[in-house]
Amino acid sequence: MVPHLVTALTGPISELEQRILESVPAIERWFRLEWMEHTPPFYSSVDVRNASFKVAPVDTNLFPGGWNNLTPDMLPLAVQAAMAAVEKICPEARNLLIIPENHTRNRFYLANVAQLGRIFHAAGLNVRYGSISPEITENTAIDLPNGEQLLLEPVVRDGRRLGVAHFNPCTIVLNNDLSAGTPGILEDLHEQFLLPPLHAGWSVRRKSLHFKAYDDVCKRFGKMLGIDPWLVNPLFGHVQGVDFAQGQGIEALQEATQTVLNKVRRKYKEYGINEKPYVAIKADNGTYGMGVMMVQDAAELASINRRTRNKMAVIKDGQQVSDLIIQEGVPTIERIDGATAEPVVYMMDRYVVGGFYRTHADKGADENLNAPGATFIPLAFEAGHALNEQGQPGKALPNRFYMYGVIGRLAMLAASYELEQTNPEAEIY
């Protein structure tokens, strides 16, 4: 199920949300049957946009940071889910090694790593933090924003096993999305579980493949629920061979953009939506909100300025962009303290364990909020089920976070389809 969290939704319940809230038993059974056939990602987070007329994911992260943005009240849910995930893979697990990103100067990111460590420690595991960064050649203590310290130790390889000094883990959790490629030190491990697997990293993963899998999931979900899959699914296109620096492939990008915009316009007309459609053009292997631009008219692409070209040409770790996904833009209706907001749903194994809002005071409802200047607002548990002044159960409020939990799990299920397709060890019939 989904925790009952307070959201920024205070207005009337939309027709879509009402349909989802009325169908909880059918939805939960549908997910249970899916998880009998598919293995969920070890952990994930999903950025969700609520336009009222539709609710959809815009990004799915299989190496989620930001665990430090969850409230302490959510940690028991995460611990329980961590126990289920680890027991499924390695029931006798004792030692666990977390391998973070290499940017050791980002103390807020490392606070997320420390939070992950606390979750796994509370799940009954000995936890150490091993770095594959060339900068970490000896044990290095990093001061965290909350006054604590995180000890990073250089990872050592002994034959086909990985660990740190005097610590031999059976399970290794990657919090490094491998944008720069797969380091050889992580390959060909023996009798150690690497979670998530290497083919979940951006050196292999593509957003277009994920949203193709999501499209398949939504068709099945929509048929079960009796709704148009578009109501929970952003339309998208894909183009390859674009070179922003040299101006190559721009015509193909314009054609693909126009195709997606035309499809969205037809849907808007079908549903009587008086909004101007737009698309988000993103690096197909992008992350951290880099390599993203919003476009309302394909003609705009013929005259983008040098700054935008440079922004789109290179993403995290200096990776060159040539393949792009053109994704239907989903505006957000949510605002917190005057700032534009979008929920981020966090999951471990097949369980929703919490979430928070990403907000940005300088961005509009149709802009990318995963940008410098973003803030993170933790979500609290809804107190509507507490006892009233007479000691009787209070009025049960609808769980308005439930819809976001459904969208998050649909994206998580799509990720499981995606990982099955890209698994190099999968049997081919």
> In order of start, what are the domains of the chain with their CATH numbers?
1-62+206-234+330-422 (no CATH), 69-200 (3.40.50.11280), 239-327 (3.30.1490)
Looking only at the bridges linking them, the beta strands covering 149-154 and 156-158 are: unpaired
Beta strands (DSSP E) in 159-291 are: 161-163, 171-175, 193-195, 236-239, 279-283
Start-to-end Cα distance in the chain? 36
Q: How far is residue 39's CA from residue 58's CA, in Å, rounded to a whole number?
A: 22
SS3 content of the chain, % helix, strand, coil (to 5): 35, 25, 40
In the numeric block, which tokens belong to residue 187?
A: 């390959």
pLDDT at 429: 36
- Mind giving me the DSSP string for 283-339? ETT--TT-SEEEES-GGGGGG--HHHHHHHHB-GGGPBP--EEEEE------EETTE
Report which secondary-structure segment, H or E, holds 33: helix 24-37
Angle, alpha carbons 120-121-127 (nearest 5°)? 85
Query: Residues of the chain whose pLDDT is less than 70?
Result: 287-290, 314-318, 384-395, 426-429
Write the pLDDT tens digit of every residue in 122-148: 999 999 999 999 999 999 999 999 999
Q: What is the pTM of this model?
A: 0.94
Cβ contacts of 310 within 8 Å, gap of 6 or more: 244, 245
Give backbone dihedrals phi and psi of 355, rounded to 5 degrees, phi first: 175, 175
| Max Cα–Cα distance, the chain, nearest Å | 72
pLDDT at 428: 46
Q: How far is residue 95's CA from residue 84's CA, in Å, rounded to a whole number?
A: 16
**Would you call 13 exposed, middle or buried from its count of C-beta atoms within 10 A (0-12, 13-18, 19+)?**
middle
pLDDT at 393: 55
